[in-house]
Amino acid sequence: MEKTDILSLSLEELIIALDALGEKKFRAEQIFSWLHVKKVTEFEEMTNISLELRTKLSENFYIKRLNIAKRLESCTDNTIKYLYELDDGNHIETVLMEYNHGNSVCISTQVGCKMGCKFCASTIAGFRRNLAPSEMLMQIYMAEKDSGRHVDSLVLMGIGEPLDNFDNVVKFLRLLSAKDDMSLRHVSVSTCGLVNRIYELADLKLGITLSVSLHAPTNELRSSIMPINDRFRIEELMEACKYYFNTTGRRISYEFALIDGVNDNRQSADALLKLLKGQNCHVNLIPVNEIKEGVFKRSVSVEKYKQMLIDGGLNATVRRTLGADISAACGQLRRDNK
């Protein structure tokens, strides 16, 4: 019989699974707490569970594991980047960053990515599969255990397109908020713009922040760097973003990677101001990370571009670059490991 991935089960599912083994509801609650509060990685560590039940558990379930294949610690800030090996031999990346307000973790949601953004290293190594909820949770639990730091906030901005793995991501978020130590108010989900899924996510009212990777203010320019724009045009994306804000009350954070000579000029800033006019939103400017295979160069006009947006009435900041010395940008480590 194939064993079940116990860490991916919601409390309700665990109660049902244990009921089938003749166990009471409170046992399921105890086990759930061992898994998600104490974060044990072996059934033997569940010391208030009888040996008999622990044996039964190990016959029917397994606790998902990730192995740290590589661990890089930045010399300039306290960023730690993990390359995890999954139990099928695939690799994913997780980055732990330290900010004034606490520790933040950036996790992967898929092995590789199908979206094909031209500037992104995650696409290069190819798409393999979706991650299970347990594999997303374990990226956080293991980083906490290894570093001894408590994780206060979370961004789904590592390898993969979170909304292309929608059901597992939602299940993961629900597992995360089932305990008290992480409010979904401190979680950001980043998308290249899967419009249909943005509506679905809005309706779930999870309380998360939605980051939208915009990177260009016009269809022509956006399509030339992001193939998703051929499926969902900017106008449709903007409608979905407005719906997200109106439904959840959470303002959208637009990601905008500034690329030298591509989207960092006055014309681009004017078009962006026009596009986002009247929206209660935030623009996060990112000097593009130059990847080995890429032709895109980092913009030298980041501050100037920011000022143009601010002068036009937009809320804009430049993202701090952390872990630059350890290739902390998404997909770079997995790609280098090939």
Q: Is residue 42 flagged as an active site residue?
A: no
Report the residue from 330, 333, 334, 335 that binds ligand SAH according to the rule CB under 6 A. 330
Q: Name the residue nearer to ligand SAH (CB basis): 114 or 174.
A: 114
Is residue 333 within the footprint of ligand SAH (CB under 6 A)? no
Report the residue from 23, 77, 135, 255 that binds ligand SAH according to the rule CB under 6 A. 255
**Measured from the CB of residue 313, what is the shortest distance to ligand SAH in angstroms?**
23
Is residue 120 within the footprint of ligand SAH (CB under 6 A)? yes
**Measured from the CB of residue 119, what is the shortest distance to ligand SAH in angstroms?**
5
- # residues near ligand SAH by CB under 6 A: 18
Q: What CA dihedral angle connects 220, 221, 227 and 231, to 10 degrees?
A: -40
Q: In what order do the strands lie in the sheet with 187-191?
A: 67-73, 80-85, 91-99, 102-106, 151-156, 187-191, 209-213, 252-258, 281-287, 316-318
Q: Name the residue nearer to ligand SAH (CB basis): 74 or 108.
A: 108
Tokens of 99: 């900010």
Q: Exposed, middle or buried by CB within 10 Å (0-12, 13-18, 19+), for 249?
A: exposed
Tokens of 281: 């939103």
Restricting to residues 152-171, name those near ligand SAH by CB under 6 A. 157, 161
Site string for ligand SAH, 206-245 (x = CB under 6 A): -------x--------------------------------
| Backbone region of residue 193 per phi and psi (left: phi > 0; alpha: psi in -120 to 50; beta: other values) | left
Q: What is the CA radius of gyration of the chain?
A: 21
**Measured from the CB of residue 111, what is the shortest distance to ligand SAH in angstroms?**
13
Least Cα distance to 258 among 206, 322, 306 occurs for 306
Least Cα distance to 35 among 2, 61, 16, 56 occurs for 61
What is the per-residue DSSP string for 70-95?
Answer: EEEE-SSSS-EEEEEEPTTS-EEEEE
Is residue 190 within the footprint of ligand SAH (CB under 6 A)? yes
Which of the following is catalytic: 23, 93, 135, 255? 93
Report the residue from 291, 308, 322, 328 that binds ligand SAH according to the rule CB under 6 A. 291
In this structure, are residues 334 and 128 in contact, taking their beta carbons and an 8 Å threshold? no
Report the residue from 49, 117, 138, 198 that binds ligand SAH according to the rule CB under 6 A. 117
CA distances 324 to 76, 97, 291, 316, Å, are 9, 12, 12, 22
**Measured from the CB of residue 298, what is the shortest distance to ligand SAH in angstroms?**
8
Stretch that binds ligand SAH, among 32-40, 50-58, 201-209, 282-290 (CB under 6 A): 282-290
Q: Is residue 12 flagged as an active site residue?
A: no
If residue 250 lies in a helix (H) or strand (E), which one and from where to where?
none
Restricting to residues 74-113, name those near ligand SAH by CB under 6 A. none
Enumerate residues 6+ apart whose C-beta is below 8 A from 248. 202, 205, 207
CA 120/CA 292 separation, integer angstroms: 10
Report the first-to-last Cα separation within the chain, whole angstroms: 34
Is residue 288 within the footprint of ligand SAH (CB under 6 A)? yes
Q: Name the residue nearer to ligand SAH (CB basis): 63 or 329.
A: 329
**Measured from the CB of residue 274, what is the shortest distance to ligand SAH in angstroms?**
21
Report the residue from 97, 105, 170, 192 that binds ligand SAH according to the rule CB under 6 A. 192
Q: Name the residue nearer to ligand SAH (CB basis): 46 or 189.
A: 189
Residue 38 CB neighbour total at 10 angstroms: 10
Is residue 46 within the footprint of ligand SAH (CB under 6 A)? no
Q: Name the residue nearer to ligand SAH (CB basis): 6 or 329.
A: 329
Least Cα distance to 207 among 232, 174, 175, 241 occurs for 174
| Active centre residues (catalytic) | 93, 330
**Site of interaction with ligand SAH (CB under 6 A):** 115, 117, 119-120, 157, 161, 190-192, 213, 255, 257, 286, 288-289, 291, 329-330
